[in-house]
Structure 1
Amino acid sequence: MERVAAPLRIQVIEAIRNAIVAGRFSPGERLLERRLCEMVGVSRTLIREALRQLESEGLIDVVPHRGPVVAKIESSMARDIYMVRSELEGLAAAIFAERATEDDLQALREAYEGLKAISGSSDPVVRVAAKNRFYEKLIEGSGNKALGPSLNFLNSRILLLRATSLKAGGRLDKSIEELGELLEALEARDPERAKKAAQAHVAKAAEISLKFLAEAEAKEA
């Protein structure tokens, strides 16, 4: 039996996840083992382990008689996810404003500067990763041990939706502007203003993603 090195296994998972985020595989598209082996350059054993992990995260679905496919998010599910995300991230922002240390705030500033630094990038993987880093620092700085796991439960679906919203022309620049307003509220230690800024950002992302999803569903109808 082939022994799997943990670091390589993680690399394979990340490679497939990044390919999905980058749009190399479309929602509902079959993930053929042979093609994935060629893309990543590893054995089928590693590919199968990676697919099982991504299935457990909700990034792919296994369909009878078709095998693994990229998960599709219907607009109704997307609305529900954005509703929960708005509440959780609004709460995280409010708690961060009250509890975060100066080190937490500096880490968030650095993540924000990193986001601004890639504003000219057209690589969706780079863009989504920079957004994710900002949110990771926001959650960490809140110090609430339940928020991270709660958002992680939705993480793969949020990842797909984040990649969808950032497809819109000029969305990344607008997103950076919105997160700048959030950062200002956090620096001012204003919980209510921070919560409103976080939720306004999620609302705008939801508006754009839902528009893309509605257009895609209309084409399939």
Structure 2
Amino acid sequence: MLQREAAPLRTQLVARLREDIIEGQYTAGDRLIEKNLEATYGVSRTVVREALRQLESEQLVEIVPNVGPKVRGLTYDDVVHLYQVRAALESAACRLAAESASLEGVDGLRRAYEHLHDHAAQESVADLIVEKNKFYDALIEASGNPIIGEMLANVQARIAQLRYITLGTPDRTPHMLAEIRAIVDAIEASDPEAAVAASIAHVESAAGIAKQHVAHLRSAPVG
């Protein structure tokens, strides 16, 4: 049940539904029945509809004629394209950071990595995603280009459910930490080519797991 807080109820519901979709409370293809959402979150139908429209614009929800709102699934091609865009955005941020980050920006990036490293083994996947997002915040700050951050956030929202799969894969965490350390080391060394290469390698590792997962779902027998 949502609480009466300073943030508008619509904003709260969007955040809560987004989180529930990301964490798998609602999975691809699930119907989002307005009456059920009203009862679950204690809000009006108007608030529910406004929230669903917002999530539709984020492409987490689709409105199907004669069916209603459903959690939007990703096709194999969607996954390929989204990770291509993620690689382009992250590598651009890394290049900019390696070329022009301030000492304060680089220090902030190193601290974000060290915090992620020190807590990764004890974190749930949900908490690990939060910590990793803090690293990306530091990366965007070091890059000096907030527009990349806005675009990357949109991509991350689209692949949010897959991030639970990739980060929850056995033995993924140590590899992920090594990949991110390579990014930080390259930025600290002011080596844009190495930073770009390390960033692309990191995204491609996650993309490989995500594509394998979606391909498996596509080939799984029905019933």
TM range (shorter): 0.7 to 0.9
In structure 2, the partner of 1:47 is: 48
- SS of the residue corresponding to residue 62 of structure 1 reads strand
Structure 1 residues 34 and 216: CA distance shift in structure 2, 3 A: same
2:70 alignment partner, SS class:
strand
Query: Structure 1 pair 127/41, CA: closer, same or farther in 2 (3 Å)?
Result: farther
Shift of 1:153: 4.4
Contact 1:30–1:67 (CA<8 Å) still a contact in 2? yes
Q: In terms of mean alpha carbon deviation, does 199-208 or 38-47 score higher?
A: 38-47
> Which residue of the partner structure matches residue 180 of structure 1?
181
Cross-structure match for 1:56: 57
Deviation at 1:5, TM superposition (A): 6.1
In structure 1, the residue corresponding to 2:126 is in which secondary structure?
A: helix
Alignment match, 2:123: 121
Q: Given the alignment of the two structures, is residue 23 of structure 1 paired with residue 32 of structure 2, yes or no?
A: no
Pairing 1:111-150 to 2, within 5 Å after superposition: 111-116=112-117, 117-122=119-124, 124-150=125-151
Tell me, yes or no, if the aligned pair for 1:21 and 1:125 is still in contact at 8 Å: no
Mapping of residues 184-203 of structure 1, within 5 Å: 184-203=185-204
Distance 1:129 1:40, change over 3 A: farther
Tell me, in whole angstroms, the C-alpha distance in 2 between the residues paired with 1:172 and 1:45. 42
Q: Specify the SS of the correspondent of 1:119.
A: helix
Give how far 1:205 is off. Answer: 0.2
CA displacement 1:5-27 (0-9 Å, x = unmatched): 64433222111111111111111
The verdict on how the C-alpha distance between 1:139 and 1:216 changes in structure 2, with shifts beyond 3 A counting, is: same
Aligned residues: 218
SS of 1:154's partner is helix
Distance verdict in 2 for CA 1:110–1:76, change over 3 Å: same
Aligned-pair RMSD on alpha carbons? Answer: 2.3
Moved more, 144-153 or 47-56: 144-153
Find the residue that maps to 2:122 and give its secondary structure: coil
| Match runs of 1:89-128 below 5 Å | 89-116=90-117, 117-122=119-124, 124-128=125-129
Deviation readout 1:56-90 (Å, 9 max, x if unpaired): 11111111112111111111121111112212211
Deviates more, 1:162-171 or 1:10-19: 162-171
Q: Which amino acid aligns with 1:195?
A: V
CA apart distance, 1:148: 2.9
Distance 1:42 1:107, change over 3 A: farther
**Runs of 5+ unmatched residues, structure 2:** none
CA distance in 2, matches of 1:173, 1:41: 41
Residue 220 to residue 118, structure 1, CA distance change in 2 (3 Å): same
* Correspondence list, 1:61-72, <5 A: 61-72=62-73
Partners of 1:34 and 1:220 in 2: CA distance: 32
CA contact (8 A) 2:120 2:173 kept: no
Q: Return the TM-score normalized by structure 1.
A: 0.87
